[in-house]
Amino acid sequence: MKQQIIVSGIGGQGVLFLTRLFAQAAVEEGLDVLTSETHGMAMRGGTVVSHLKVGPFKSPLIRMGQCDVGLFINASNLDIYRNFIRPGGRSFVNTDISGEYYNIDATGLAKECGSLLVTNLVLLGYAVKEGNLFCDEGVMETIIRKSSQPDRIEMNLKGFKAGVSRN
Amino acid sequence: MDQTKQKILMGNEAIGRGVVEAGCTLTASYPGTPASEILASVVNFSRETEIKMHIEWSVNEKVAYEVALANSYTGKRSAVAMKQVGLNVASDPFMRSAYLGVKGGFVVIVADDPGPHSSQTEQDSRLFALSAKIPVFDPASPREAKEMVRKAFELSEKYEIPVMLRSTTRICHARQNVPCLPPERLERTADFEKDPGRWVATPQFLYDLHHRLNDKIDKILEEEDFSPLLIPGDGSLSKYCIISSGVAFAHTCDLLEDMKFSGKIDLFQVTMPYPLNKKFIRKINSGYKKILVIEETYPVIEMQLTNPEINGRNSKLIPNQGELTPDIIQDVLKKFLELPLEAGASPEQIKGKRPTLCPGCPHRAAFYAIKETFPEGIFPSDIGCYTLGMNLGAVDTCHCMGACISQGAGFYHAYAQDNGKFPTIAVTIGDSTFFHAGIPGLINAVFQKARFIVVILDNSTTAMTGNQPTPEVGIMADGTRGTPVLIPDLVKACGVRFLKECDPYDLETFTSYLKEADQYCRSEDGGVAVIISKHPCVLDKEAMKAQPVYSMRITEDCTGCEYCLNNFECPALVSDSDGERVIIDQNICIGCGVCQHVCPVGAIIAEGGGKK
């Protein structure tokens, strides 16, 4: 199994949290994993991106046109990182505008769940459902339980499930 | 894969784990991206494994280096961690420590930032190690970084020499499943053996110490354990070889596999770029006709190979600036292997949303007041979140830690000598930066009779790098209480005679202090005026509980002039969809209430003001 994923958003939207969930899920599945994250000044509301490589890789970075799945918590980042997605790869975008990608109004659904903080988890749920990913919903649910702060577990799961059950 | 001993660790966490596993008893650091998470990891893992260790956020890297060095003099293992420009600050003890050597293993962890992503230079610390004559390791993954920490301690102890572990952003901030071992328990007690000819080393001793250092390096470069590792090819490209180190080696491996060249060409991983193994140098120069060296960021291996035919930075096959991303290395490999290049394959320059001060950031209020009060002023600033004050036009220079105060003095002398008239010079410096390197500059400015305003942006934390505590807060790295050192006391002790303290959210008072400070600078017996702009960082959740929260709205009176957008630059103030009016993004507004004072027509209204 080899899979390359990018997660993008702006600083503060929970890109790093999703990256860690994916990495934990990979280990749970017995797979090697390498990720690369944005830290520093860009985290102050700037554009951030994480690369995630599952399987026998050595380099933590993904090249242009090699990425299998992209998660875009901020829709405008699609323009910046579109080139990373390989032909036939799948992009999941937080937007109510449809296009050549899988779109979901994650912000709207998160608001319905009662917390905008789970926008990232709504998008994750949708991607796990439709992205042909290395892990399934059940594994991700376990990881969310393990990795969330105790007082956030239920809300995070609610957001995740809202994404999974989107039609 | 054995899951029981595997943890997913960030490169910096893996390094911290390595330090704890190696039986180190003192670790000191100053935060700076991409090195900041190393010390926190040392704290966490030493606590988890119940290892006794002194761990400190020192006030700067030079101090950190010296504290750790003395611990090594007593026979105990020490580590010091910093970013690459931190090594510039610590360069004085660094250079001399090579000559005098160490006792207990001493590892200097330095994180470089090719790109750069978050630094003022993209200098290569391996070159610094070479010029200091200090051996350096260059890991290609978090897993390897942890393993190399242990080897570095062993090598350091064997030859009584400091050893550098040079990481880079892509290793520091990569995460990988890493096997973890229980810590070594060395049970050493402090035993400082006096040896004035070594530890005092006046110039008469240094010829001999330098000689000994050279002997050590000559022996280390013969060490088989640290000679470059060969992944052999099948002989089909017998005249070719590729030499690489660090994360560039990892990129090269994956690329060769994708290009179906894995196992066809001899590939060397240099794990210790300095001193470069002599036999290796001979073997490369006599055994291969086409040699490619891929390393970040300066040609350190290339230089030691002293072969003008090498393909690399000197031959311009590899760009001499910037990070070696896989896309760039792909082009390099194709050119080297004489493969066709894909049209349009070169990566675009990635731009995106620029970073900005957080909604409610107290620095924004201070910058707004400074810019409004002194529209013609000169604004030297410094390194931290507040460098982003440039978005508000309130930061004109940023050089290196602490430089703003000395530069403020320099600007004053430059203008004042012309005709005695000088513009208002308003310097901004963060609290942690002030402790780090601002104090000597302030003493100097006072003594040299400069006249300018220093605004110390005191948010009671080192915010940019992840909210590490400052000496004023008085919380040490392990969470216990230290002895607080107060900024007003320091300012007064530097000889400053004008000192005010104010919450910048109170724009009116803050502005009146700025005006008063300017008058003081220009008065007959004036000098340096200091204003402490005090308000906690909005990322400090505890402090935020005490802050009143206003409900903000914009009335029909908004004319869409965008004065607030251009001059206050709060991310929570945005243009509406038609661009005719400004609206408040309630999802990110924290209700600080400051912007109500910014609108020229009073259309921004703050209501309520209760606490969370």
Looking at residue B182, what is its pLDDT? Answer: 94
**A64 CB within 8 Å of a chain B CB:** yes
Q: Are B518 and B453 spatial neighbours (Cβ–Cβ below 8 Å)?
A: yes
Window A:80-99, CB contacts with B under 8 Å: 80-81, 83
CA B540 to chain centre: 21
Q: Is the dihedral of CA A11, A12, A13, A18 positive or negative?
A: positive
Which amino acid is located at B456 in the chain? I
Distance (Å) of CA A142 to CA A28, A118, A132, A138, A156:
9, 17, 18, 6, 12
Window B:165-194, CB contacts with A under 8 Å: 170-171, 173-177
Q: Tens of pLDDT along A74-96? A: 998 998 899 999 999 999 999 99
The reply to whether residue A116 touches residue B587, judged by beta carbons under 8 angstroms, is yes
What are the φ and ψ backbone dihedral angles of B79, each rounded to 5 degrees? Answer: -135, 150
Strand (E) positions, B32-143? 54-57, 78-83, 106-112, 136-137
- All residues of chain B having their beta carbon less than 8 Å from the beta carbon of residue A37 are 10, 173-175
Helix extents (H) in B234-273 = 246-258
Sheet holding B54-57: strands in order across?
B54-57, B26-29, B78-83, B106-112, B163-168, B136-137
**B2 CB within 8 Å of a chain A CB:** no
Task: Provide block-wise average pLDDT over 10 residues at a time, chain B (612 residues).
Answer: 71 98 98 96 96 96 98 98 98 98 98 93 98 98 97 98 98 95 94 97 96 98 95 95 98 96 96 97 96 97 96 95 95 95 60 85 98 98 95 97 98 94 97 97 98 96 88 92 96 98 97 98 97 95 91 95 95 90 93 96 91 61
CA B470 to chain centre: 16
Q: Are B138 and B245 spatial neighbours (Cβ–Cβ below 8 Å)?
A: yes
CATH numbers and ranges of domains, chain A: 3-164 (3.40.920.10)
Window B:298-327, CB contacts with A under 8 Å: 325-327
Model ipTM value: 0.88
The reply to whether residue B388 touches residue A41, judged by beta carbons under 8 angstroms, is yes
What are the φ and ψ backbone dihedral angles of B458, each rounded to 5 degrees? Answer: -95, 100
Distance (Å) of CA B47 to CA B42, B115, B161:
8, 35, 29
**Residue A40 confidence (pLDDT) above 90:** no
Whole-number Å distance between alpha carbons of B65 and B261:
44
Q: Are B490 and B439 spatial neighbours (Cβ–Cβ below 8 Å)?
A: yes
Q: Are A6 and A49 spatial neighbours (Cβ–Cβ below 8 Å)?
A: yes
B326 min Cα distance to partner chain A (Å): 6
Q: Are A32 and A79 spatial neighbours (Cβ–Cβ below 8 Å)?
A: no
- All residues of chain B having their beta carbon less than 8 Å from the beta carbon of residue A47 are 352-353
What is the H or E stretch that residue B87 is in?
Answer: helix B84-89
- All residues of chain A having their beta carbon less than 8 Å from the beta carbon of residue B330 are 63
Q: Are B295 and B250 spatial neighbours (Cβ–Cβ below 8 Å)?
A: no
CA R_g for chain B: 27
Whole-number Å distance between alpha carbons of B329 and B22:
35
B582 min Cα distance to partner chain A (Å): 20
Tally A–B CB contacts below 8 A. Answer: 126
Looking at residue B2, what is its pLDDT? Answer: 45
What are the φ and ψ backbone dihedral angles of A3, each rounded to 5 degrees? Answer: -145, 140
Q: β-strand B266-269 against B229-231: which pairing, if any? A: antiparallel
**A41 CB within 8 Å of a chain B CB:** yes
Q: Are B220 and B157 spatial neighbours (Cβ–Cβ below 8 Å)?
A: no
The reply to whether residue A58 touches residue B177, judged by beta carbons under 8 angstroms, is no
Choose the mutation target among A17, A35, A41 for the interface with B, i.e. most B CBs under 10 Å.
A41
Comparing CB atoms, the residue among A19, A37, A59 nearest residue B251 is A59
B177 min Cα distance to partner chain A (Å): 6
CATH numbers and ranges of domains, chain B: 6-220 (3.40.50.970), 225-336 (3.40.50.920), 362-540 (3.40.50.970), 547-611 (3.30.70.20)
**All residues at 6 or more sequence positions from B501 whose CB lies less than 8 Å from its CB, including other chains:** B488, B531, B532, B534
For residue B504, give the 3-state DSSP assignment: coil
Looking at residue B1, what is its pLDDT? Answer: 44
Comparing CB atoms, the residue among A11, A23, A58 nearest residue B253 is A58
The reply to whether residue B352 touches residue A60, judged by beta carbons under 8 angstroms, is no
Distance (Å) of CA B221 to CA A137, A139, B228, B297, B382:
52, 49, 11, 22, 41
The reply to whether residue B353 touches residue A35, judged by beta carbons under 8 angstroms, is no
**All residues at 6 or more sequence positions from B14 whose CB lies less than 8 Å from its CB, including other chains:** B41, B142, B143, B145, B146, B176, B178
Looking at residue B348, what is its pLDDT? Answer: 53
Window B:422-461, CB contacts with A under 8 Å: none
Q: β-strand A33-36 against B174-179: which pairing, if any? A: antiparallel
Q: Are B387 and B120 spatial neighbours (Cβ–Cβ below 8 Å)?
A: no
A105 min Cα distance to partner chain B (Å): 16
Closest chain A CA to residue B251: A59
What are the φ and ψ backbone dihedral angles of B215, each rounded to 5 degrees? Answer: -60, -40
Of the candidates B486, B491, B454, the residue with the CA atom closest to the CA atom of residue B471? B486
**B351 CB within 8 Å of a chain A CB:** yes
Comparing CB atoms, the residue among B141, B177, B327 nearest residue A27 is B177
Of the candidates B25, B86, B101, B15, the residue with the CA atom closest to the CA atom of residue B56? B25
Token pair 């600036």: residue: B321
A161 min Cα distance to partner chain B (Å): 22
The reply to whether residue A37 touches residue B140, judged by beta carbons under 8 angstroms, is no
Q: Are A133 and A124 spatial neighbours (Cβ–Cβ below 8 Å)?
A: no
CA R_g for chain A: 14
**A61 CB within 8 Å of a chain B CB:** yes
- All residues of chain B having their beta carbon less than 8 Å from the beta carbon of residue A33 are 8, 175-177
The reply to whether residue B33 touches residue A39, judged by beta carbons under 8 angstroms, is yes
Comparing CB atoms, the residue among A24, A58, A83 nearest residue B8 is A24
**B103 CB within 8 Å of a chain A CB:** no
Comparing CB atoms, the residue among B325, B348, B355 nearest residue A42 is B355
Residue B555: other Cβ atoms inside 10 A? 12
Q: Which two tokens stand for residue A92?
A: 């999941």
Q: What angle do CA B582, A10, A54 make, to 5 degrees?
A: 160
The reply to whether residue A59 touches residue B356, judged by beta carbons under 8 angstroms, is no
Q: Which two tokens stand for residue B67?
A: 């504290």
Whole-number Å distance between alpha carbons of B428 and B414:
19
**A117 CB within 8 Å of a chain B CB:** no
- All residues of chain A having their beta carbon less than 8 Å from the beta carbon of residue B267 are none
The reply to whether residue A39 touches residue B587, judged by beta carbons under 8 angstroms, is no
Whole-number Å distance between alpha carbons of B545 and B350:
38
pTM: 0.94
Which amino acid is located at B366 in the chain? A
**All residues at 6 or more sequence positions from B89 whose CB lies less than 8 Å from its CB, including other chains:** B30, B60, B61, B62, B82, B401, B436, B437
Distance (Å) of CA B324 to CA A49, B261, B321, B337:
18, 20, 9, 18
B356 min Cα distance to partner chain A (Å): 6
Looking at residue B612, what is its pLDDT? Answer: 57
Q: β-strand B582-584 against B290-294: which pairing, if any? A: unpaired
A31 min Cα distance to partner chain B (Å): 8
The reply to whether residue A46 touches residue B118, judged by beta carbons under 8 angstroms, is no
